[in-house]
Amino acid sequence: VDFNKVLDERFSCRGFLDKPVSLDQVRAMAVQAQKVPSWGNTQPWRLYAVGGAKAEAVRENLVTAMQAGRPQAPDITMPASFEGELMDRYRDLGRGLFKLLGIGREDHNKRAAHYANNFNAFGAPCLLYITVPRGQTSYVALDAGAFVAGLCLAAASQGLASCILAALARYPDEVRKVAPIPKEEAIIIGVALGYPDPEAQANSFRSQRLELEQVLTSFDL
């Protein structure tokens, strides 16, 4: 498959079909993602795939915890908010998505329902959890990030859709009640995986990127 096509086809899917993903598909993704580089080839990532009734149970636990207002306790500190232009872009993403979904500023019920849907992994039949060992420097996040990107691109190359979801990692205790991920490892992120629902309006949303001039500076090139 053409690499550019895969890059173009990956997007954050926010509406999944009730159609299972097989272990073979996840294995193929993991084999591909394993090819990403890591510091000193340390490969600090571990991957846990949760499907079937267990994925449903995790999603249910997470939604329940969120709706009960339980304090979030991710294994790795998450940003409470962003600063400056990062915050601008974070807000732009929410505004763009809500506009497409026809959710107004004052529509608190629909906003809350969308937020809850994050914890429901947008109905994904398979949840991927990526962990890193505890007690390392924050550089392990760089390696894990490369692995996660590899997974999402591998998913796209197989015709699967994904969404990296911080929401899936905000209540790790609830995850471990169903999927006993070792406590010695820190859950760094979750990924929703499945087939995209063509009827889900959110799936027609595409996020924007900065102009190249804002990203790239060259010296003597």
Ligand X SMILES: Cc1cc2nc3c(=O)[nH]c(=O)nc-3n(C[C@H](O)[C@H](O)[C@H](O)COP(=O)(O)O)c2cc1C
Rounded to whole angstroms, the Cα distance separating 191 from 146 reads 14
Taking the complex as a whole, how short is the minimal distance between the CB of residue 163 and ligand X, in angstroms?
Answer: 6
Residue linked to tokens 């991957």: 47
Rounded to whole angstroms, the Cα distance separating 24 from 146 reads 22
Taking the complex as a whole, how short is the minimal distance between the CB of residue 219 and ligand X, in angstroms?
Answer: 29
Of 57, 93, 141, 179, the one binding ligand X (CB under 6 A) is 93
Nearer to ligand X, 40 or 59 (CB): 59
Taking the complex as a whole, how short is the minimal distance between the CB of residue 127 and ligand X, in angstroms?
Answer: 13
Residues 60, 74, 169, 113: is their CA dihedral positive or negative?
positive
Nearer to ligand X, 12 or 61 (CB): 12
CA geometry: angle 17, 124, 144, nearest 5 deg? 135
- Is residue 59 a contact partner of residue 119, using CB atoms and an 8 Å limit? yes
The continuous run of DSSP H or E covering 35 comes out as: none
Residue linked to tokens 């959710």: 103
Nearer to ligand X, 22 or 115 (CB): 115
Contacting ligand X within 158-177 (CB under 6 A): 163-167
Residue ranges in 34-136 assigned as alpha helix (H):
52-67, 84-100, 108-119
Residues 4, 5, 8, 9: is their CA dihedral positive or negative?
negative
The answer to the question of residue 144 lying near ligand X (CB under 6 A) is no
Of 25, 61, 118, 120, the one binding ligand X (CB under 6 A) is 118
The answer to the question of residue 141 lying near ligand X (CB under 6 A) is no
- Is residue 154 a contact partner of residue 33, using CB atoms and an 8 Å limit? yes
The answer to the question of residue 6 lying near ligand X (CB under 6 A) is no
Nearer to ligand X, 166 or 179 (CB): 166
Nearer to ligand X, 28 or 97 (CB): 97
Taking the complex as a whole, how short is the minimal distance between the CB of residue 165 and ligand X, in angstroms?
Answer: 4
The answer to the question of residue 47 lying near ligand X (CB under 6 A) is no
Rounded to whole angstroms, the Cα distance separating 125 from 197 reads 12
Taking the complex as a whole, how short is the minimal distance between the CB of residue 220 and ligand X, in angstroms?
Answer: 32
The answer to the question of residue 200 lying near ligand X (CB under 6 A) is no
Binding site for ligand X (CB under 6 A): 11-12, 14, 93, 118, 163-167, 189, 207
